[in-house]
């Protein structure tokens, strides 16, 4: 029997009480229902300086970047909840992607070893009326440009302040089902492509 596929789940937010951190936890359960092994991380545990090629040339890749890259490499799927800042991707998420795209000394330039062949699903929630939909367009374009297959299904949940209860759960069961279904689809597609 083959081992379960592994999905790395995280939110592109630094805020401790981020709605997107709550959202990715809910989604992770859907991937586990499909038999995936899910690793849920917080990008705050991998603090990275603002990407600077001079810093990289002087000191190499920071240890936090190497740790994040190792996680990306050891998982076949990515489940990402993406806050929207001014209609686009958060600086935290873009910086993490930019650092992770840099080659390690033993890798060829532009190898993109952490991203090539990965499968991803995108989610968002926001206090606004579009739920982060505009930012998802940018995240999708970035990931697809570096070799990630992003599944078509995605979910953006508007009105985040009302959408979640005090325990961090989505109040609407239909929303819960939709979020979990996307993560379930990610696990299923990733498993089929990994055979």
pLDDT per residue over 108-129, tens digit each? 888 899 999 999 999 999 999 9
Position 195 scores a pLDDT of 81
First to last CA, the chain: 12
Q: CA distances (Å), 9 to each of 24, 57, 162, 172, in order?
A: 7, 30, 24, 22
Residue 121 DSSP SS3: strand
Cα–Cα distance between 27 and 183 in angstroms, integer? 6
Query: What mean pLDDT value characterizes the chain?
Result: 96
- pLDDT tens-digit series, residues 146-162: 999 999 999 999 999 99
Residue 1 pLDDT: 42
Q: What is the largest CA-CA distance in the chain?
A: 51
The C-alpha torsion from 172 through 174 and 180 to 182, rounded to 10°, is -130
Retrieve residue 78's tokens.
Answer: 């990515």
pLDDT at 87: 94
Residue 91 token pair: 């600086």
CA distance 73 to 114: 5
Structure tokens at 181: 């279904």
pTM for the full model?
0.96
- Mean pLDDT confidence for 131-143: 97
Taking the CB of residue 132, how many other CB atoms lie within 10 A of it? Answer: 29
Sign of CA dihedral 92, 13, 138, 25: positive
pLDDT in tens, 36-89: 999 999 999 999 999 999 999 999 999 999 999 999 999 999 999 999 999 999
């Amino acid at each position: 029997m083959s081992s379960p596929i592994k999905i790395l789940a995280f939110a592109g937010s630094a805020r401790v009480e981020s709605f997107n951190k709550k959202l990715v936890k809910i989604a992770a359960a859907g991937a586990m229902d499909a038999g995936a092994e899910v690793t849920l991380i917080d990008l705050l545990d991998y603090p990275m300086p603002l990407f600077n090629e001079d810093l990289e040339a002087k000191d190499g890749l920071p240890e936090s970047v190497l740790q994040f890259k190792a996680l990306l490499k050891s998982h076949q799927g990515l489940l990402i909840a993406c806050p929207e800042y001014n209609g686009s991707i958060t600086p935290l998420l873009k910086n993490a992607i930019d650092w992770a795209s840099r080659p390690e000394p033993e890798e060829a330039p532009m190898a993109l070893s952490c991203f090539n062949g990965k499968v991803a699903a995108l989610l968002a929630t926001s206090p606004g009326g579009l739920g982060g939909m505009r930012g998802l367009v940018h995240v999708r374009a970035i990931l697809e440009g570096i070799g990630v297959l992003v599944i078509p299904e995605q979910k953006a949940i508007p009105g985040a302040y009302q959408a979640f209860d005090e325990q961090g759960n989505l109040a609407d069961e239909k929303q819960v089902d939709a979020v979990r279904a996307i993560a379930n689809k990610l696990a299923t597609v990733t498993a089929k492509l990994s055979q």
